Copies of this chain bind each other. A is one copy, B any other.
Amino acid sequence: MKQKIGSQNVLYPTPVTIVGALVNGKVNFLNVAHIGILNASAPHLISLGMGKGHYTNIGIRENKTFSVNILSQDKMVEMDYVGIVSGSTTDKSAIFDTFFGELRTAPLIQDCPLSMECRLTDTYETRTHDVFIGEIVATYADDAVLTEGKVDLEKVKPLLFDRSSMMYWSLGHAEGRCWSEGKKYKKT
C-alpha cells in the first residue's frame, strides 16, 4: 500500500560536506549536505543550497570562491559542530588545519581526504536559499584514499545525510558495476 506523504523531499542520502570560505577576512566553515551535481563534463559544476541566513554566504558572495571538503565519518562530531554554531558569533577558524590553493581565498581543510576548490560562477536564488553554483578549479586527494590513482570511497568513508531520520549514515559496499549490471536484464 502506498501513502501520499505531502510534498516531502526524499532525495536522500547526500554527502555531508564542509564548505569553507573567508568571511570578513576570517576562515569559516559550514556543514552543507544540500548539494547538487549539474553536469558530467568540464568545466565541472556543482551547487550548494544554503539558507540565506548563513554567515558563510556573505564570504562566498564577497570573494566568489569557496571550498567543498569531504571528511571521513570519524570526524562526525566536528562536522556536525560547524553546522550548529554560526561564524557570526563563534570563531570556527581553528577547528581544522587549513591551507590555500590556486584561488587564494577558498580555505581548504588539511586533515581531510578530499577537497575541491571552487570559483563561484552563478547564484540561483530561491525565496529562502542561495544556491551557489561553482566550477571545480582543483581537487585535492590524500594518498591514503587513492587506489591505483583513483578515489576509493571504501577508504574515504564519507558521511551521508538523511533528512527523514535526521541522522548521519555511513556508506555500505560496492554492489555492482554501472553501465554493466543492466546487461543482465531480460524482458519477461
- Give A contacts to B, CB under 8 Å: 1-15, 17, 33-47, 49, 51, 68, 70, 73, 76-85, 94-95, 114, 116, 124, 126-129, 131, 135-143, 146, 149-153, 158-185, 187
* In-complex Cβ contact of A80 among B15, B95, B178 (8 A): B178
Could you name 21 residue pairs across A and B whose Cβ atoms are closer than 8 Å? A3-B142, A3-B146, A5-B141, A5-B149, A7-B136, A7-B137, A8-B136, A9-B116, A10-B70, A11-B15, A34-B40, A36-B37, A38-B47, A38-B129, A41-B127, A41-B129, A47-B47, A95-B185, A150-B164, A150-B165, A151-B164
Q: How far is the CA of A12 from the CA of B6 in the complex (A)?
A: 28
Question: In the complex the two chains form, is B168's CB within 8 Å of A170's CB?
Answer: no
* In-complex Cβ contact of A124 among B38, B82, B128 (8 A): B38
CB distance from A163 to the nearest CB of B (A): 8
Question: In the complex the two chains form, is A175's CB within 8 Å of B169's CB?
Answer: yes
CB distance from A148 to the nearest CB of B (A): 11
CB distance from A87 to the nearest CB of B (A): 14
* In-complex Cβ contact of A1 among B1, B49, B135, B142 (8 A): B142
Question: In the complex the two chains form, is B78's CB within 8 Å of A185's CB?
Answer: yes
Question: In the complex the two chains form, is B81's CB within 8 Å of A185's CB?
Answer: yes
